[in-house]
Amino acid sequence: MNIGEYFIRHKVTSWMITLVLIVGGSISFLSLGQLEDPEFTIKQMNVITQYPGASAEQVEEEVTFQLETEIQQLPYIDKITSFSQPGMSVLEVEFQDSLRSKEVNQAFDEVRKKIRDLASSLPSDAETPTIVDDFADVYGASYALYGDGFTVRELSDVADYLNRELSIVDGVAKVDIAGEQIDQVAIELSYSELSALGLSTDTIASLLAQYNVVSNAGYANSGTERIRIRPTGELSSIASLGELTLVGSNGNSVKLKDIATIRRVVKDPSNQIITYNGHSAINIGVSFVSGSNVVDVGEAIQARLKQLSVELPAGISIDPIYEQPKEVSNSVKGFLVNLAEAVGIVIVVLLLFVGIRSGVLIGLILLLTILGTFIFMMYFGISLQRVSLGGLIIALGMLVDNAIVVSDGILVELKLGKSKLESAGKVVKQNFWPLLGATVIAIVAFAPIGLSPDSVGEFVGSLFYVLLISLFLSWVTAITLTPFFCDLFMKEELDTGNGAPREDPYKGVLFSAYRLVLKHAMHHKWLTSLGLVVMLALAVFNVTSIKQSFFPDSATPLFYVELRYPQGTSINVSEKQAMALESYLKQDDSVAYIATTANQGFLRFMLTYTAMEMSPSNVQMVVRTKTVEQIEPLLEKIDSYLKASQPEVSFVLRRLALGPSKGAKIEAKIVGQDSDVLRDIAEKYKAKFRNFDELVGIRDTWKQKAKVYQPIFDESKAADLGITKEKLDEALLTNLEGRTVGVYRDGTDLLPIIITVPEQERGSIEQINDIQVYAPYTEKYVSFSELVTDYQLIWEDARIVRENKRRTLTVQADLSLYTDKTADQVFKEIRPVIEAIDLPDGYSLEWGGEYESSGDAQKNVMASVPLGYLFMFIITVLLFNSVRESVIVWLCVPLTIVGIVVGMLSLNVPFGFMSLLGFLSLSGMVVKNGIVLIEQINHELADGVEPYHAVFDSAVSRVRPVMMAAATTILGLIPLLFDPFFQGMSVVIAFGLGFATILTLLAVPAFYLILFRIKVPADM
């Protein structure tokens, strides 16, 4: 008794398993976590080191180089990109793709240890490096907090309150805030008073340091108790600072408040300015616990915000920048509709092919397989999201393949007069190993998706695991529950022994037409083979005509505007210019809202979001329209407005990406040492880029050189007065921005204390000559102009970028709105133009952008392909114990290219990364069809059928299950043809499988006759 007979005989067991799948699958489906996009690990960390007063070149040589050298010693570092700019070093450390997600935190710890060990070797004026390693944190619920008449300080207080309240909502992992302004205590001094008293700013700084400290007074014994001693005297308020007494060099004393204005102010310039629809705003981000149902958590957050709204000051508003729970809800609902449509299409196809009884039977097996898949998805923590649901839809057609073979085989046996038990036993025994082998091959064909170690592989990895689970389950249900339900649904047609002729199981239009075509194909086997080769050659020749891309744009009605103003533009001017664009956009009825941030990006609200590089001259806008169809017209309006009203700005209009991406579409990286030579080459490249109308936003990563106003210090005269270069710099800093001399403790806040001059006297370059500098030897103030001999204006690199310790200047460009070409097409046109430019010795060109990202992703996927194909070929050899039969099966795989080329060109769909995955998976589907056909031929030969007739009859007997399997897969993909993410993959599979199936039904018999040298009988 084999497994098929077992499940027919043991009906209680069969019903129990069916009930477990129905109930368990339904519960699991309702309990699965829901996300918009799959989670993936961003294998990157940043190391930020402040080095106040140092030029970009000094930062590069004294800080960046040391950090790079130390970190690069670790074996799993892939790339280190460094940005050295005045006063700051930023290192982006990227880890190797082979580093698994679970190992990333350990790698972060080892980098931290390296940096701790190096910290003492950095310049004494450099601050301790700060490590930022929370790139994977996604604040899926991102809000703007704003209100007319409220200062940013007041908004920050409200944001802090909301932080505390939202962080305790179930399912919330973390709440963060961006856009808060830094408060500081400003002591604005009168130099005339200081001069009269003979006081230096150093005296004030020293006094503040003495009073504003936390010191230990110790403990005292009192009987059996030990009591801590804590004298008063700490600064209790900002006003108490004014009560500090200063004693001048002339012996006179004075209160600080008598010679200075003391007040709490906002740091100027700000580190970040955020606005929402023109209002000053704070960005509040809420991240979710991994694996949670973000839709449920989102509803809980909304409910809590509604409760808190009555406690907030009147006029405060909280509006969304991005709400992942709503997007997920819409996305999952849309995909579930697609899934339902696909299931319906598959069932309708089955009903048309095999009738109501068999159609309902196979549809029931399909439903049980899907429900079983949900159980295992729940167990392995695979959430419902774009990729996993897409994988389920792709699998739908294949899920019925095994059940079709088994049920069709049982149906044929029943028509031949055998009993249900005998039919099930024979069919399951005959197909047990071939179906298992074919299923494993189909799974292995998708393996490169799951085995790719990079972020792209991790992003689409759930597609493989869903297919693995569902396809293997389909084999299990095919050999267990399918015979059981065949016993329930099908009728026996037992042979009565009266000699009446049996009904031909292969009658009908389909079989008659196929017999006719097959007969000619087998009679002219060489001509058939030649025709297939010619078709394949034509398809390969036209492959170059197919557009290529990496990942498509999202259908979410949201886009970014990236504004890069000239180097040196202040954050306030950048924000003002951006506000002009925002005011223009607010007049458009298609705009739902506009969120703007200057100098820094928003909190990461989705994994594919990429913030602009940090710079006061950079502004990023997030614009949401009411419908996705309104994006293109609005982008054209923005393009026209900026070109006419702000010609100085370099801008990029960027649609929301569906997959991992970074940087520009096209990037030319120039590697060399001398910055002037690098800039000269970059200008040549940019000039060539401008000749292509398809390119916009042409820029480079070093930006323009920055102006430096350089007073020529009279060291001799200054030395006579006891004034050093350091004291001169301190005087300038005090008068221009404010010099930090201490910290004021305000509860949990530590506010910098700065000494400066009144606002109307500071900040302007014209006032430098009037700055007063204290001379220790004379105990008097002298004018700054007395300490310099001249002034000069020089230019310096404001940003030095290195990749893996090599200076690298990258020329970047994005695609114009008005081109139908893909980045790959433009890249192929511009590449020879750029590479034709001769480079000096020691300088080289490397290509980045989409070319590099796509190449890396494809490289990681393709790395496992040879082993996968070898494994699949070995399985076919083991199944047939024949190399020739395995070769016949695999000769059909290239035929998929014919359909792919026809589909891509006829629908004008670009071939992207997901299309590549579809192409790889096709081989498993085609091989599976070939295995079913070859196995039937072997079965016929074993029964003693003449070779030619064995091939012919086997092909006829398998045309229905093979065509049904292909039709269910192809038609089940129809809903995905309208999804931007899966469109390319769907076209590849649908057209590739469609053409390959038809050609396989002719190619396998023809190839079999040729390789086994079978002659056509004379009577045929």
**What pLDDT shows up at residue 761?**
76
pLDDT at 662 over 70: no
* Between 449 and 52, the higher pLDDT residue: 52
Q: What is the chain's length?
A: 1020
Burial code (b: 16+ CB inside 10 Å, e: under 16) for 703-738 equals bbbbeeeebebeeeebeebebeeebbebbbbbbbeb
Q: Where residue 833 falls among pLDDT bands split at 50, 70, 90?
A: very high
Q: Which residues, in sequence order, are bridge partners of residue 95? A: 77
pLDDT at 1019 over 70: no
For residue 363, which of 424, 406, 393, 404 has the smallest C-alpha distance? 404
Q: How many CB atoms lie within 10 A of CB 576?
A: 14
**CA–CA dist 4, 480 (Å, integer):** 6
Lowest mean pLDDT across 207-221, 525-539, 924-938: 207-221
Domain ranges across the chain: 1-31+355-494, 43-135, 200-258+706-797, 513-545+882-1019
Q: Which residues, in sequence order, are bridge partners of residue 815? A: 695
- Class of residue 458 by CB neighbours under 10 A (exposed 0-12, middle 13-18, buried 19+): buried
CA 292 from centroid of its chain's CA atoms:
19
Tokens read off for 104: 């990333």
* Between 307 and 928, the higher pLDDT residue: 307
**What pLDDT shows up at residue 762?**
74
Tokens read off for 755: 């000494």
pLDDT at 1 over 70: no
**CA–CA dist 276, 294 (Å, integer):** 25
Lowest mean pLDDT across 18-27, 123-132, 194-203, 980-989: 194-203
Lowest mean pLDDT across 186-200, 391-405, 486-500: 486-500
3-state class percentages of the chain: helix first, strand second, coil last, to nearest 5: 55, 20, 25
**CA–CA dist 921, 916 (Å, integer):** 9
**CA–CA dist 1002, 998 (Å, integer):** 7
**Per-residue CA distances from 197 to 246, 679, 782 (Å):** 9, 53, 15
Residue-wise pLDDT for 69-111, tens only, equals: 999 999 989 999 999 999 999 999 999 877 877 788 899 999 9
Per DSSP, the three-state class of 824 is helix
User: For residue 938, which amino acid is it?
Assistant: N
Domains 43-135 and 513-545+882-1019 share a fold: no
Tokens read off for 687: 């000039």
**What pLDDT shows up at residue 980?**
84
**Per-residue CA distances from 657 to 104, 194, 609, 663 (Å):** 25, 59, 8, 12
- Class of residue 840 by CB neighbours under 10 A (exposed 0-12, middle 13-18, buried 19+): exposed
User: For residue 525, which amino acid is it?
Assistant: K
**CA–CA dist 977, 990 (Å, integer):** 10
pLDDT at 460 over 90: no
**What pLDDT shows up at residue 19?**
96
Residues of the chain above pLDDT 70, percent: 97
Write down the H helix ranges in 400-524: 401-415, 420-451, 455-479, 481-489, 509-523
Lowest mean pLDDT across 184-198, 888-902, 999-1013: 184-198
**What pLDDT shows up at residue 556?**
86
Question: Which letter does DSSP use for residue 894 in this model?
Answer: G
Residue-wise pLDDT for 426-439, tens only, equals: 999 988 988 898 88
**Per-residue CA distances from 710 to 675, 713, 729, 771, 790 (Å):** 21, 9, 12, 15, 9
Residues of the chain above pLDDT 90, percent: 48
**CA–CA dist 502, 517 (Å, integer):** 26
CA 969 from centroid of its chain's CA atoms:
29
Question: Which letter does DSSP use for residue 60 in this model?
Answer: I
pLDDT at 495 over 60: no
What is the average per-residue pLDDT within 612-638? Answer: 93
Strand 279-288, strand 273-276: pairing: antiparallel
- Class of CATH domain 200-258+706-797: alpha beta
**What pLDDT shows up at residue 660?**
62
Mean residue pLDDT across the chain: 88
Helix (H) / strand (E) containing 321: strand 317-323
Torsion from C-alpha of 287, 293, 295, 301, nearest 10 degrees: -50
Question: Which letter does DSSP use for residue 895 in this model?
Answer: G
**CA–CA dist 893, 926 (Å, integer):** 6
Q: Where residue 558 falls among pLDDT bands split at 50, 70, 90?
A: very high
For residue 78, which of 88, 91, 93 has the smallest C-alpha distance? 93
Q: Which residues have CB under 8 Å from 67's CB, separation 6+?
A: 47, 49, 82, 89, 91, 115, 118, 129
How wide is the angle at C-alpha 915 spanned by C-alphas 914 and 918, nearest 5°? 90
- 546 contacts 910 by C-beta, under 8 angstroms: yes
Residue-wise pLDDT for 197-217, tens only, equals: 888 888 888 888 776 677 788
Per DSSP, the three-state class of 107 is helix
- 365 contacts 408 by C-beta, under 8 angstroms: no
Lowest mean pLDDT across 473-477, 828-832, 864-868: 864-868
**CA–CA dist 993, 211 (Å, integer):** 80
**CA–CA dist 810, 957 (Å, integer):** 61
Tokens read off for 158: 């409200």
Radius of gyration of the chain, Cα coordinates, nearest whole angstrom: 36
Q: What topology is assigned to 513-545+882-1019 in CATH?
A: Multidrug efflux transporter AcrB transmembrane fold (1.20.1640)
**CA–CA dist 967, 940 (Å, integer):** 26
Torsion from C-alpha of 392, 396, 402, 408, nearest 10 degrees: 160
For residue 785, which of 796, 774, 772, 794 has the smallest C-alpha distance? 772
Q: Which residues have CB under 8 Å from 480's CB, separation 6+?
A: 3, 4, 7, 14, 17
**Per-residue CA distances from 415 to 409, 420, 516 (Å):** 10, 10, 24
Per DSSP, the three-state class of 916 is helix
Helix (H) / strand (E) containing 559: strand 558-564
**CA–CA dist 970, 966 (Å, integer):** 6
Report whether CATH 1.20.1640.10 matches the domain 1-31+355-494: yes
User: For residue 287, which amino acid is it?
Assistant: S
Tokens read off for 876: 């076919």
Per DSSP, the three-state class of 52 is coil
Q: Which residues, in sequence order, are bridge partners of residue 141? A: 286, 323
**CA–CA dist 844, 365 (Å, integer):** 60
Write down the H helix ranges in 40-140: 56-59, 65-71, 101-119
- Class of residue 312 by CB neighbours under 10 A (exposed 0-12, middle 13-18, buried 19+): middle
**CA–CA dist 475, 479 (Å, integer):** 6
CATH of domain 43-135: 3.30.70.1430
Residue-wise pLDDT for 756-803, tens only, equals: 988 877 767 878 888 889 998 888 889 998 999 999 999 999 999 999
pLDDT at 552 over 80: no
For residue 284, which of 200, 180, 154, 186 has the smallest C-alpha distance? 180
Tokens read off for 17: 């398993």
Q: Where residue 829 falls among pLDDT bands split at 50, 70, 90?
A: very high
Q: How many CB atoms lie within 10 A of CB 157?
A: 14
Q: Where residue 505 falls among pLDDT bands split at 50, 70, 90?
A: low
Q: How many CB atoms lie within 10 A of CB 808?
A: 22
Write down the H helix ranges in 569-665: 571-586, 631-645
Residue-wise pLDDT for 705-736, tens only, equals: 999 999 999 999 999 999 999 999 999 998 88
* Between 666 and 338, the higher pLDDT residue: 666
- 158 contacts 316 by C-beta, under 8 angstroms: yes
Per DSSP, the three-state class of 890 is helix
**What pLDDT shows up at residue 484?**
94
Beta-strand runs (E) in 828-887: 844-847
* Between 73 and 445, the higher pLDDT residue: 73
pLDDT at 994 over 80: yes
For residue 824, which of 806, 847, 851 has the smallest C-alpha distance? 851
Give me the phi and psi of 981, to 5 degrees please: -70, -40
Largest Cα–Cα distance of the chain, in whole Å?
136
* Between 868 and 646, the higher pLDDT residue: 646
Helix (H) / strand (E) containing 595: strand 591-599
